[in-house]
Amino acid sequence: MSERAGADPTPQQHEHNLASGLHVPQEPDEPDYLEQRSRVYRWLVVAERAASCTFLVATLGLIMVQVVSRYVFNTPFTWTEELARFALLWFAFVSAGFVMARRIHIAVDLVASKLGRRGAIVMDTFALVTVVATSGVMAWAGAGFAAGAGRLAAPATSMPMSVVYASAVVGFGLICLHAVLHVYLNIRHPELVPDAMENLEREAV
């Protein structure tokens, strides 16, 4: 794979890539270093992406069924709107985990762009540590909340509300996991940290 346009790799980086058979991602959608090293982690990220697509398609399908049943047959179902809301919740949280895994979340680099690569990585690591702490607390609190809601049922589908609230636990848990691994990557292999802003600018061209 060709290197980034206008940015030749350092000898250490090039030597590391040749020795390991790995490469720095050139696009935000490409597998990063962690996915290239671990097949289990690669399948986890792929599963997150597939689940996100499934929940999104399910949400759109349920909404279409609701519209047709209401305005075409004049006999709206009572459960489609509720299931669509639940599918949308799961889509939002699972896709948030996938976005964190690929580092394609929205970022403001007004300060980081002035610090150079090493300073930007330090700032990114600090931000990731904050994400780890926040998402870890949210996952822990959400687990307790979901466990307490097990006796509650959704009015239309009678689905346990713990299933609904578990979406936040799964989402924040995935975010915490990916953030921890990215902190490790920043510390142990800073030369392989993708230049997220350059990737986004390249796609915008």
Whether residue 57 has pLDDT greater than 70: yes
User: Phi and psi (nearest 5°) for 153?
Assistant: -125, 145
What pTM value is reported for the model? 0.76
Question: Tokens at residue 26, please?
Answer: 């050139």
Going by C-alpha positions, the residue among 43, 145, 157 that lies closest to residue 98 is 43
**What's the mean pLDDT when you consider all of the chain?**
77
Beta bridge partners of 153: 160
Alpha-carbon gap, residue 168 to 146, rounded angstroms: 9
Q: Which residues pair with 160 in a beta bridge?
A: 153
- Please, which pLDDT band fits residue 34 given cuts at 50, 70 and 90? confident
Chain segment 103-144, per-residue pLDDT in tens: 877 777 666 666 777 777 888 888 899 999 999 999 999 998
> How does residue 16 score in pLDDT terms, banded at 50, 70 and 90?
very low
More confident residue, 195 or 32: 32
**CA distance linking residue 200 with residue 62, whole number of Å:** 33
